[in-house]
Amino acid sequence: MIHRGPFPNGLNRVRSWKDGHYDTSWTVDFIIHNKTMQREGMKTFKQNETQSIYETVVDVHDGDDVSSDTYCCPNCGSVSTIAELQEGCAYCGTSFKMSELYPKVKNYFFVFDMSGKTDHMFKTVIRYGLYLLPLNIIMCLAVLLQKSGVGFKGLMAGEKVFTGLWSILYAPICITLMIPVFGFVGWMLDCFRLAFSSLPVLFEVMGSRQRFAAGISPVCPEFTFEYFISKIVSFFKIFAYSENRRDLPFYAGSDNGEEFDDLVDASFFGTMSCKRVARKDNMVYVTGDLYMENAYDLSNRIKAKKEIFRVRAGRRTDIPFTTNFSITKIQCPSCGGSFNAFKTRSCPYCGNEYKQENTDWVIYDIQNITKKIKIKRVITWLVVAAVFVGTFLYEMSMFYGLNNGF
Ligand SMILES: [Zn+2]
Ligand SMILES: [Zn+2]
């Protein structure tokens, strides 16, 4: 990522809000995002894009910052800071289970930035004009054919159209002059297309924040939608990249997620929807759609695609929410080994299953619903188009009907 633009440190707190225990803000920076992937020295994927990077920064406003406090390892007695212990004790390797440290970047995503195009306007227009050159040639020749008085019928009958120096010169001049005109129209249409491409997503996530808040606040008023989204994104990435998905402590689903075996890159698309919040006994379940841009290794090439996943997650409601800091050593009750219980639920030394009390969100299901959503979008567009055309035809018939009446 290469920094660009007039703000050397990006823009902090472009938007910020306080709720429950959290102080959340967005930080934006402007970058040129270069992605290259290679295998055995051969480039298999290359992408350069001007983008903005958005970071969600979360801080707790009623907790203490303990990250630089020191802590004595209960296993070997070495002293480290709490922040260092997140990766385990550097001296003996003991792993700890601790509350999250703040402030932290909870989530980030990239947005394509059209204004970041450094190309001159004229250059852009010419580029579009060249893309549309075939169309330009066909239209210019058709016009010439018409103007010369020969017409399509005459051409089929074998009449000569382009005779003399004048008409030989006329076609290239006409086509050249029309390049910027075609380019400008093409560029405008492409801008519209870009603006419209995010429209379906906007409709699909509409009302999600309110739905989440209405469902969650009677149970856990402290939970914010941003916090939930960042949790789901990080769980999704761990799940997708994991080698042994069934062994992940936060995953209670049945699917093995084989479709992710060839995943090489996953980035959050900046949004998630909340479809449903349901309560049962001492659990609350949230179903929502996660928008991702994933790249897969197809062995001969890399394919990047936008995908949508329906995720069902749940959390216990009888565990009180706290921002008080806590730290405990993770120890296998069977062999005494210590390991990162967030990434695996079985002890890597003796294989014993380590049942930690699950106080966090648990994923019950992850389903790729990209095709379903795409079909739904096409049907929606068709219905909108049908209503539009129907209304137009009706108005027309009314208009002519009235005229006839007169
Ligand atoms: Zn230690
Ligand atoms: Zn063990």
Domain end (from 197, 225, 255): 197
Q: Are residues 319 and 254 in the same domain?
A: yes
* Distance from the first to the final alpha carbon of the chain: 69
Q: Are residues 191 and 250 in the same domain?
A: no
Residue ranges making up the domain that contains 384: 376-406
- Residue 117 binned pLDDT confidence (cut-offs 50, 70, 90): low
In a domain, 362, yes or no: yes
Domain end (from 146, 174, 197): 197
Mean pLDDT of 19-37: 88
- Residue 33 binned pLDDT confidence (cut-offs 50, 70, 90): very high
Q: Which helix (H) or strand (E) holds 373?
A: helix 370-405
Q: How far is the CA of 59 from the centre of ligand 1 (A)?
A: 28
Mean pLDDT of 164-168: 69
Q: How far is the CA of 72 from the centre of ligand 1 (A)?
A: 8
Domain end (from 166, 197, 228): 197
Summarised one tens digit per residue, pLDDT across range 283-298 is 899 999 999 999 999 8
Q: Are residues 185 and 273 in the same domain?
A: no
Q: What are the tokens at 370?
A: 């990209």
Summarised one tens digit per residue, pLDDT across range 247-275 is 888 898 888 889 999 999 999 988 999 99
Does residue 340 register a pLDDT over 90? no
Backbone phi, psi, residue 139, to 5°: -70, -40
Does residue 120 register a pLDDT over 60? yes
Q: Are residues 283 and 397 in the same domain?
A: no
Q: How far apart are CA 93 and CA 350, in angstroms?
A: 17
Q: Are residues 170 and 231 in the same domain?
A: no
Q: Which ligand has the minimum distance to the alpha carbon of residue 339?
A: 2
Q: Are residues 296 and 163 in the same domain?
A: no
Q: Are residues 322 and 217 in the same domain?
A: yes
Q: What are the tokens at 369?
A: 């619903």
Q: How far is the CA of 89 from the centre of ligand 2 (A)?
A: 18
Number of domains within the chain: 3
Helix axis angle, 225-241 to 208-216, nearest 10°: 100
Q: Are residues 222 and 328 in the same domain?
A: yes
Q: How far is the CA of 85 from the centre of ligand 1 (A)?
A: 9
**pLDDT of amino acid 388:** 93
Ion ligand 2 — residues with CB < 5 Å: 332, 334-335, 337, 347, 349-350, 352
Q: Are residues 212 and 315 in the same domain?
A: yes
Q: Which ligand has the minimum distance to the alpha carbon of residue 89?
A: 1
Question: In angstroms, what CA-CA distances link 167 with 144, 152, 173?
Answer: 8, 17, 10
In a domain, 292, yes or no: yes
In a domain, 39, yes or no: no
Q: Are residues 279 and 403 in the same domain?
A: no
Q: How far is the CA of 328 from the centre of ligand 2 (A)?
A: 17
Q: Are residues 349 and 304 in the same domain?
A: yes
